[in-house]
Chains A and B, each alone.
Chain A
Amino acid sequence: MINLWRSLRFLVVSVALLGLIYPLIVTGIGQLLFPYQANGSMVKLNGRVVGSILIAQAVTNPGLFHPRPSAVSYSANGSGGSNLGPTTPALIREVKNNIQAVEQQNPGTPVSSIPPDMVESSGSGLDPDISIQNAMIQVPRISKATGLSRRDLITLINQDKRGRFLGIWGEPMVNVMQLNLGIEKLLGR
């Protein structure tokens, strides 16, 4: 009985310490030192919050870079992957549809040049990055739709490109939101 009483007292003390004090102190420090990150790395355009640099959003406009396919339609309040296995017919259908979309939007792209990240769904459905090859394939389309020169767009990709961390961790890639904000800037919007 004495131990039940102690357990209840421990519950109160430990919930206060681990479940309230600890996260609230981290929240306080985070908000103080890193307010941008702590609130979700939100980015603004002309003073309006247009999204998070870390979260992919639906882009179908031919004049902007498109993110990777999302199994959850880019719903940032319901993340997830397709969970389709490698021998499942639905996976083949999904990838086939994605290839058709890429070919339709970027005419003249040979299938063999399409990188897997461009037609296979991401794990979170919100992957904010694309491979360099993925971005390059989109350049002619964006150039045509916006009137920006291909060279300007390639310069943009090269500016925003990020390599492997310390040369060993991760993959070379580029952030879609950053690219699109760059396009908006070039267009003076």
Chain B
Amino acid sequence: MTCSGTIGILAVVALILALAIPLGGYIYRVFTGQKSFLEPVYAPIERVIYKLVGINPSTDMDWKGYVKVWLLVQFVMAIFVYLIFTLQGRLPLNPDGIKGMSWDLAFNTAASFITNTNWQSYAGEQSMSYLGQMVAITYLQFTSAAAGVVAVIAFIRGIVANKGKTLGNFWVDYIKVHTRILLPLAFIFAVAFVGLGLPETLQGAQIVHTLQGGTQTISRGPVASLEAIKQLGTNGGGYFNANSAHPYEDPRAITTVLEILAMALIPAALIATFGKFIGDRKQAVVLYVFLTGLLLLGAFTIYASETSGNPILQHVLGISGQNMEGKEVRFGESLSSIFTAVTTAFTTGAVNNMHDSLTPLGGMVPIVFMMFNSVFGGIGVGLLNILMFLIIAVFLSGLMVGRTPEIFGKKIEAREIKLATAAMLVHPFVILVPTAIAIVTRAGTSSILNPGLHGFSEVLYAFTSGAANNGSAFAGLNGNTVFYNVAIGLVMLFGRYVSIVAMFAMAGSLVSKSVMPKTVGTLKTNTYSFGAVFLAVVIIVGALTFFPAVAVGPIGEQLQMLAGQVTQ
């Protein structure tokens, strides 16, 4: 660890918070129908879209109406991109002559991008045409992010309404996320990215004659436009196989800082948006303090572990110093560590270093962050998970002091707790059960690259990443088999839709309740002591359910590495 590296990490986190908090206020104004200074630009465009889609923006929907259209529109998109993936070989904008995907790979990829996961069983430069990168990948990187945002906004409306019925108009919310938040931000980032070195071209791969007389085929394409929304929408699905470790996706230290900022921006902003909605700034501050603390704890754990390096290499071969396997020189250890922490805390899944080659402790942090799934979390869904944990924390606190639990003035009753528990339990279920199945079947173990405990971590990482809708990988595992394509495809779908639909249902029951006035007996949720209870719930639920798996994987391997033992 160096002084400049430490300051570098702290500066990145400070930058995130400094920009996210004002953005949160802006997002609040968007969803409360307030006018933007760009209203003369936005309003006419939105009116045209409303007309083309055929919707009436002044009607509101109850939770069932909202969630039905929310699901339907995503289903239609999934079918569309499935067709693009299988047929791309015969479609235009394919200068490198890439073939269509097999059914299982196309299913996995469609499920992956519709759920905002961006798990990639394919290598972009070899298996995705320019058309696919644009109208399927870049496209879903917008729409899946927007689906997450509107889900949490609808839920918050359910919390703040007093004996209400409706959660807003899905179409209006969904279109505004695109026109007023994602598109303008993506456009700014994309143009900046081109200026900083990311390619943006429709020309096919360039064949060059190298300095010593060989040839090299250099893949390129419309990279910058994808990269911007890949990060902003906490998607993470790279243009190239090496993702943000590839110099065309992330050519400099400053681009990686911008990419970290982009992926953290909106999920961090939504905490402030939430504070505005409930009219309680302190609630947002408490959440920021605890979540930022967890994020920094994770980032510095990775940083310390990676800079102390691999003792086996030191003892056996005499190579001392930091672990550079799978890392890029231009980022160094500190920007690699904070990227790894942010990409899993905010469940983006982009990587600027290969997580499979991290030291065991360094690799444990991303796994644990994805298991928590709420250290800020993915776009929209992260806050939804935080709210779910808050409700469970309030319920547990209510049990301890023996009073009816309530949060933000709403009584928490049996129905809410059942739904919150369902939303919470689906996560460990779809991680641990498929991991166990994979470990005892040949179809599961034959894809493993690294032997021993590390191999177990590869499988655990894959299903954790799928369930958390993260998408990063211990990429030594060969995911492009029928078994993993189908299994991870299903895990991604269950991991996303079961919990979000349960939260929609809870919003439906919360919206009709009356807001009770605060009394001296009300449990205050905007205090640091309640923040600690919240943190304890997240950690206890995470630790108790997942500890055995983490002990067998990264913790076991760390002890093995410290003992200097190579896997036999």
Contact = CB atoms under 8 A, between A and B. Distances in A.
Interface in A34-87: 34, 37-42, 45, 48-52, 54-55, 57-61, 64, 68, 74-87
Contacts of B58: none
Contacts of A170: 252-253, 330-332, 335
A114 B319 contact: yes
Contacts of A51: 208, 210-211, 216, 218
Given A19-B135, A27-B202, A88 B211 contact: no
Contact of B247 (A6, A8, A55, A83): A55
Contacts of B317: 92, 95-96, 99, 111
Given A40-B220, A58-B210, A126-B246, A11 B76 contact: yes
Contacts of B125: 77-79
A131 interface: yes
B139 A19 contact: yes
B214 interface: yes
B209 A123 contact: no
Given A19-B139, A78-B123, A92-B313, A26 B222 contact: yes
B404 to A, nearest CB: 38
A122 B245 CA distance: 9
A87 B562 CA distance: 10
Interface string B535-549: 000000000000000
B567 A89 contact: yes
B190 interface: yes
Nearest to A38: B200
A148 B325 CA distance: 32
A125 B243 CA distance: 12
Q: Which of A23, A52, A112 has the most CB of B within 10 A?
A: A23
A45 B208 CA distance: 11
Interface in B315-343: 316-335
A80 B240 CA distance: 9
A73 to B, nearest CB: 10
Task: State which size class the interface on B falls in.
Answer: 35 or more
A25 B206 CA distance: 22
Interface string B555-568: 00100110001111
Contacts of B87: none
Nearest to B135: A19
A65 B183 CA distance: 43
A39 B203 contact: yes
B118 interface: no
B273 interface: no
Contacts of A54: 197, 247-248, 251
B222 A78 contact: no
Interface stretch (B352-360, B496-504, B525-533): B352-360
Contacts of B55: 6
Contact of A83 (B7, B80, B142, B356): B356
A52 B218 CA distance: 8
B4 A167 contact: yes
Contact of B222 (A13, A27, A41): A27
B191 interface: yes
A40 B320 CA distance: 35
B217 interface: yes
A121 B211 CA distance: 21
Given A19-B138, A123-B353, A79 B241 contact: yes
A83 B329 contact: no
A169 B254 contact: yes
B331 A30 contact: no
Main secondary structure of the interface of A (DSSP, over half): mixed
B119 to A, nearest CB: 15
Contacts of A92: 312-313, 316-317, 566
Contact of A169 (B199, B208, B257): B257
B208 A50 contact: yes
B190 A26 contact: yes
B245 A81 contact: yes
B443 interface: no
A183 B516 CA distance: 76
A124 B247 CA distance: 8
Interface stretch (B17-25, B292-300, B449-457): B449-457
Interface string B423-461: 000000000000000000000000001111110010000
B10 to A, nearest CB: 9
A146 interface: no
B182 to A, nearest CB: 9
A83 to B, nearest CB: 4
A7 B257 contact: no
Given A26-B222, A37-B195, A79 B246 contact: yes
Interface in B206-235: 206, 208-212, 214, 216-220, 222, 224-226
Contacts of B372: none
B211 A42 contact: no
Contacts of B289: none
Given A27-B202, A169-B335, A123 B352 contact: yes
Interface string A1-25: 0011111111101110111101101
A164 interface: yes
Nearest to A110: B318
B206 A123 contact: no
B42 interface: no
A51 B210 CA distance: 6
Contacts of A42: 206, 208, 218
Contacts of B453: 87
A171 interface: yes
A136 interface: no
B285 interface: no
Given A86-B557, A120-B324, A122-B327, A168 B208 contact: no
Contacts of B195: 33-34, 37
Given A38-B194, A184-B211, A27 B200 contact: yes
A3 B242 contact: no
Contact of A3 (B68, B197, B319): B68
Contacts of B476: 83-85
Nearest to B332: A171
A82 B8 CA distance: 27
A15 B136 CA distance: 8
Q: Which 3 A-B pairs have the closest CB atoms?
A: A170-B253, A123-B245, A19-B135
24 contacts: A4-B72, A17-B178, A25-B187, A29-B191, A31-B200, A33-B194, A48-B209, A54-B197, A59-B210, A64-B211, A76-B218, A79-B240, A79-B242, A84-B450, A85-B474, A86-B325, A86-B359, A89-B567, A90-B450, A116-B324, A122-B327, A122-B328, A126-B246, A169-B256
